């Protein structure tokens, strides 16, 4: 019977390091939990690790050897594939048989190529996690580690179910973001179209009319004509070129490590956008950590994997420090309090979950709360953008109408 070395935190805050003899990783986790300990790290026997964990070289070789028949695969194929696989495994088939059946029956070219590639690796003796790792363009590190943990603990079907639920929530959030931005984008396009119509169609005709009357134009009309003349002149083209070059330069700088760190710091300090990015970070952290912990991944590994999923570099550095403090024995709720991202009530809820040994359910509850908060902030942000664009369009159209009407009245008075 193999010995599993572990590091855990006792109820009094002490860090305990010992070994436990168990036939499987799942049994080792159960024994540690019955001792009233909060697991921080669990090291498997070297033979098990060598069999289960694909090395970076092996993953790279498999990725290079994976034949997709020229079909382009991406992250969008992950959820449909896992859903189809889970439907078969929940009906009683093994994961290998389910993949073989998908490879033989799926009609979609992309899904067929993915199923065939994974089945080829599995039929050659690779574990499911290693077969998935051969397609890094589809399955990220988190998904592979979860599946590997499911293989080690024997609850692969449950891992599929939780992973599908997590990916579905992420997809719905992205869809809500796109739908929320659709209206402001539509208004922006309409505003741009109004400006182009005025510059290239309406104003030239009005200018010819005003010149034929030989009258003195009012200030508003002169301002409008001068602004349009500037926009259509070489100066206007130069300003547009400078703006375009500036935007491209800024975006190129943001893609560097230093630029990303600086600009991410700017984002979280903005009045309206900042709280949105904070809520997004907390949601990503709690969702990922809850899924990893619920599927048998140790606290240390789960925290390290979770911090990689945080897109904001300033927050990622903060949560990296949080992970280090937790590994040193500090409670997760106290370590997270230093980030400044969590309200006190949420931290209290997390502390209760830690003390009761229900950390994963507490994290899921917090994630659900922050998902509602994010949706509310997204709706508010969208309404503000839409209102600002709409007011800008109405203001510009109103200014055009005022300048034209004022010019007409001024000219008519000068003629009489």
Tens of pLDDT, residue by residue over 173-187, are 788 778 877 877 887
pLDDT band at residue 36, thresholds of 50, 70 and 90? Answer: confident
pLDDT confidence of residue 69: 57
The model's confidence at residue 54, banded by pLDDT at 50, 70 and 90, is: very low
- Residue 205 CA to residue 209 CA, distance in Å, equals 6
Q: What is the mean pLDDT of residues 58-74?
A: 57
What is the mean pLDDT of the segment spanning 48-70?
46
- Please write the tens of the pLDDT for every residue from 340-393: 888 888 888 888 888 887 888 888 888 888 888 888 887 787 788 778 878 887
Predicted confidence at residue 250, as pLDDT, reads 92
pLDDT digits (tens, 9 = 90+) for 303-331: 888 887 788 888 888 888 888 888 888 88
Mean pLDDT, the chain, integer: 80
Most confident of the ranges 19-33, 320-334, 398-412? 320-334
Measure the CA dihedral 162/350/335/278, to 10°.
70
Question: What pLDDT score does 197 carry?
Answer: 81
Q: What pTM value is reported for the model? A: 0.63
List the one residue out of 70, 167, 163 whose CA is nearest residue 109: 70
Domain ranges of the chain: 3-50, 56-139, 171-416
**Per-residue 3-state assignment (H helix, E strand, C coil) for 313-332:** HHHHHHHHHHHHHHHCCCCH
Contact 86, 164 (CB under 8 A): yes
Angle at 168 between CA 163 and CA 173, to 5 degrees: 130
Percent of the chain with pLDDT over 90: 6
64-68, 156-160, 301-305: least confidently modelled range: 64-68
Q: pLDDT band at residue 82, thresholds of 50, 70 and 90?
A: very high
Q: What pLDDT is attached to residue 49?
A: 39
Contact yes or no for 101/265 (Cβ under 8 A):
no
pLDDT digit string, tens, across residues 268-284: 888 878 888 888 888 88
Which H helix or E strand runs over 376?
Answer: helix 359-415
User: What is the CATH code of the structural domain delimited by 171-416?
Assistant: 1.20.81.30
């Amino acid at each position: 019977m193999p010995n599993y070395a572990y590091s855990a935190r006792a109820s009094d805050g002490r860090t305990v390091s010992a070994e436990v003899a168990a036939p499987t990783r799942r049994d080792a986790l159960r024994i540690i939990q019955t001792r009233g300990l909060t697991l921080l790290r669990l090291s498997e026997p070297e033979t098990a690790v060598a069999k289960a964990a694909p090395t970076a070289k092996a993953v790279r070789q498999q990725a290079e050897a994976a034949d997709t028949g020229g079909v382009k695969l991406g992250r969008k194929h992950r959820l449909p594939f896992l859903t189809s696989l889970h439907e078969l495994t929940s009906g009683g088939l093994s994961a290998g048989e389910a993949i073989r059946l998908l490879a033989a029956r799926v009609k979609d070219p992309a899904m067929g190529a993915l199923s065939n590639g994974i089945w080829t690796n599995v039929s050659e003796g690779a574990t499911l996690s290693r077969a998935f790792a051969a397609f890094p363009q589809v399955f990220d590190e988190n998904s592979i580690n979860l599946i590997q943990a499911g293989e080690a603990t024997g609850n692969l079907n449950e891992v599929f179910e939780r992973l599908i639920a997590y990916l579905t929530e992420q997809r719905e959030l992205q869809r809500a973001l796109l739908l929320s931005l659709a209206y402001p984008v539509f208004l922006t396009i309409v505003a741009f179209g109004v400006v182009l119509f005025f510059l290239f169609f309406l104003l030239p005709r009005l200018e010819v009319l005003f010149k034929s009357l030989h009258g003195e134009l009012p200030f508003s009309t002169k301002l409008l004509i001068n602004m349009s003349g500037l926009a259509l002149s070489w100066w206007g083209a130069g300003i547009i070129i400078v703006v375009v070059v500036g935007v491209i330069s800024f975006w190129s700088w943001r893609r560097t490590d230093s630029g990303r760190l600086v600009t991410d710091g700017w984002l979280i300090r903005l009045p309206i956008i900042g709280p949105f990015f904070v809520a997004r970070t907390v949601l990503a952290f709690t969702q990922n950590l809850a899924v990893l912990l619920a599927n048998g991944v140790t606290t240390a590994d789960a925290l390290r994997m979770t911090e990689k999923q945080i897109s904001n570099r300033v927050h990622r550095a903060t949560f990296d420090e949080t992970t280090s403090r937790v590994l040193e024995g500090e409670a997760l709720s106290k370590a997270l309090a230093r980030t400044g991202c969590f309200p006190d009530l949420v931290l209290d809820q997390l502390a209760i979950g830690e003390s009761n040994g229900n950390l994963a359910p507490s994290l899921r509850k917090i994630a659900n709360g922050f998902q509602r908060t994010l949706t509310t902030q997204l709706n508010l942000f969208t309404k503000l953008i839409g209102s600002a664009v709409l007011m800008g369009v109405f203001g510009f159209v109103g200014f055009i109408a005022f300048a034209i009407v004022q010019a007409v009245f001024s000219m008519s008075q000068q003629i009489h």
